[in-house]
Amino acid sequence: MLPSLNGLRAFEAAARHMSFTRAAAELNVTQTAISHQIRRLEEQLAVPLFVRRNRALELTREAEDYLPAIRSAFEDLRRATERLRRPENEGVLTVSTTASLAAKWLVTRVAAFQDANPGIEVRMTTSTHLVDFQREAVDMAVRYGRGNWPGLRADWLMAEDIFPVCSPAVAATLRRPEDLANQTLLHSTVSREDWQLWLTAAGLPVSIAKQRGLIFDQTFMATQAAMDGLGVALGRGHLVEADIAAGRLVAPFDTVMPADAGYYVVAPAAAAETPKIARFRDWLVASAQAAAPTPERITPPSRGAGAAT
């Protein structure tokens, strides 16, 4: 059986202030009421929570272990209540994605959505972790994967072709894919297996991927290093198309491997049809379809085959 909610509120406030008096003032009750609520909570839990001294309070070891979970629970309740009270037509839409996709693809397009929907302000946030919609102030996200995230609605956005890219100067030294053995390969920790998969698809030994190279924690950093002539990176179609068109990058080979996953637009299932989320999702999917490249593709190996080679 769960303990008294009033007792838990009193405990959290008293522990935060380390004072029954200040907790009482915050909760708009008397100090006596706080003391009674906490004493009753201690009886329900059969565990002492405070060491009461003449002019000070101390948390017991059990209370120190218990407090973080209680604070987290109240914070979840507060955020859930804010979401419940938030009007569906509220004008701010917070979208989370990776830094690479935001910088190289989404930012250049979102202005068109803002022009067509002046009542919705799009705010983008980037991160390398999967969004926790229960704890983070995010309405929707663009995730890379296979679309199987429990509790979320996932709408297919686009695939990504993977192929080597480099500066024009480096490209001049590459006549055939085998020449990569003499180049510095640029890796991203976000997709460490990509080079092995591409080399296998191109019929080259994966040992090339284990040679000297540079490693970056973001894909766009590896791409920037390639533009600066530091080596050869694996580009993802939508993320490098503008740089190739501008001549900053070159795709030196014809071998293009489609990834076995893709980008999805995701949102909590319960909120997925909120007007502002549905409108942005539909626009984003249509934008991706209109801009989809159509290069010649080859069939990639399975993840298992690539890893075993």
Read off the tokens for 41. 């909570």
R_g of the chain computed on alpha carbons: 27
The rounded distance, in Å, linking the Cα atoms of 221 and 219 is: 5
The rounded distance, in Å, linking the Cα atoms of 194 and 202 is: 12
Instruction: Report the pLDDT value the prediction gives residue 267, as an integer from 0 to 100.
Output: 94
CATH of the domain at 226: 3.40.190.10
Average pLDDT value for residue range 74-88: 72
Average pLDDT value for residue range 218-237: 90
> Is the pLDDT at 240 greater than 80, yes or no?
yes
Q: Which domain holds residue 204?
A: 160-260+295-308
Instruction: Report the pLDDT value the prediction gives residue 278, as an integer from 0 to 100.
Output: 94
Q: Which residues fall within 8 angstroms of residue 203, CB to CB, at 6 or more apart?
A: none
Read off the tokens for 22. 């200040």
Instruction: Report the pLDDT value the prediction gives residue 199, as an integer from 0 to 100.
Output: 85
Assess whether 301 and 216 both reside in one domain.
Answer: yes
Assess whether 178 and 265 both reside in one domain.
Answer: no
The rounded distance, in Å, linking the Cα atoms of 45 and 61 is: 14
Assess whether 167 and 242 both reside in one domain.
Answer: yes
Assess whether 135 and 10 both reside in one domain.
Answer: no
The pLDDT tens digits for 12-21 are 999 999 999 9
Which of 31, 52, 85 is the last residue before a domain boundary?
85
Determine which of 33-37, 190-194, 269-273, 299-303 has the lowest per-residue pLDDT on average: 299-303
Q: Which residues fall within 8 angstroms of residue 100, CB to CB, at 6 or more apart?
A: 190, 218, 219, 220, 223, 236, 239
Residue type for position 141: A
Across the strands, what pairs with 264? 143, 156
Assess whether 130 and 184 both reside in one domain.
Answer: no
The rounded distance, in Å, linking the Cα atoms of 199 and 219 is: 18
Assess whether 135 and 284 both reside in one domain.
Answer: yes
Assess whether 197 and 299 both reside in one domain.
Answer: yes
Assess whether 195 and 303 both reside in one domain.
Answer: yes
Instruction: Report the pLDDT value the prediction gives residue 294, as an integer from 0 to 100.
Output: 42
Average pLDDT value for residue range 174-181: 92
Assess whether 76 and 56 both reside in one domain.
Answer: yes
Instruction: Tell me which of 143 and 38 has the higher pLDDT.
Output: 38
Instruction: Report the pLDDT value the prediction gives residue 149, as an integer from 0 to 100.
Output: 84
Q: Which residues fall within 8 angstroms of residue 225, CB to CB, at 6 or more apart?
A: 186, 214, 216, 231, 233
Number of domains in the chain: 3
Assess whether 199 and 302 both reside in one domain.
Answer: yes
The pLDDT tens digits for 102-114 are 887 888 888 889 8
Assess whether 148 and 283 both reside in one domain.
Answer: yes
Read off the tokens for 306. 């690539």
Length in residues, the chain: 309
Alpha carbon of 215 to those of 45, 188, 256: distances in Å?
Answer: 52, 6, 22
